[in-house]
Structure 1
Amino acid sequence: MTVSPAVTKEKAGQTIKQHYPNYKIIVLNDDFNTFKHVIECLMKYIPGMNGDLARELTEQVHYEGQALVWVGPQEQAELYHQQLRRAGLTMAPLEKA
C-alpha cells in the first residue's frame, strides 16, 4: 500500500498539513472470469502483488463477492482500476478510503 503525499493549507497565518485522500480498488465477483485470469491480472497491474496474495484475494472475491486489492493515491488508483477493468475484471467504482 502507498502513503499519500501531504497537502499544505494556510489558515490565518497557520500552516495545516492534510493528506490527500487514498482510494480503494475493489474487485467484484462475476460469472465469467476464471481464477487464473484474475490472479494474472492482479499480478500484472497491482505493484508488489505476488502469486500467493493474488490467489488469496481471488478466493476472497469468489467466496465473499469482493476483495479490496489496493489502496493509495487517486492518480495511481485510477490507473490500476482502469487497467483491471480493461482486462475484463468486474470492478466496484473507486471510492475514498
Structure 2
Amino acid sequence: MKNINWKVRFSNPVFLAQLVLSVLAPITLYFGVTYEELNTWGKLGQVLFDAVRNPYVLSGVAVSVYNAVNDPTTAGVIKDSIRAQGYEKPKKDVR
C-alpha cells in the first residue's frame, strides 16, 4: 500500500482516534460491552481475545478499518491523491 502517505496519516491525531475507534466500536457493539465496563487491562484483554477468536467480529473490524483508511474523494481503492502522497504533515485548510 505504497499509495498511502502513512507517515502523515499517523501524525494526525484525528486519524489515530478514527483508527482506534474503528477497531473498538465493532468489538464492543458485538459483545454488548460499554467503554465504562472496560476499566481494567484484564477485561480489555479478554474482550480483544474473544474478538480475535470470532470471524464475524473480525470481519466487522476489517470493514470498519477499511472505511477509516479509504479516502472516498480519490479514485481507486485505499489510495491517496498524488498531492496527498507528497505531504510532509497533515495539510491545514487555509482560506
Q: Fold conserved (TM > 0.5)? A: no
Higher helix share: 2
Report 1 or 2 for greater relative contact order, CA contacts < 8 Å, sequence distance ≥ 6: 2
- Give TM-score, length-normalised by structure 1: 0.30
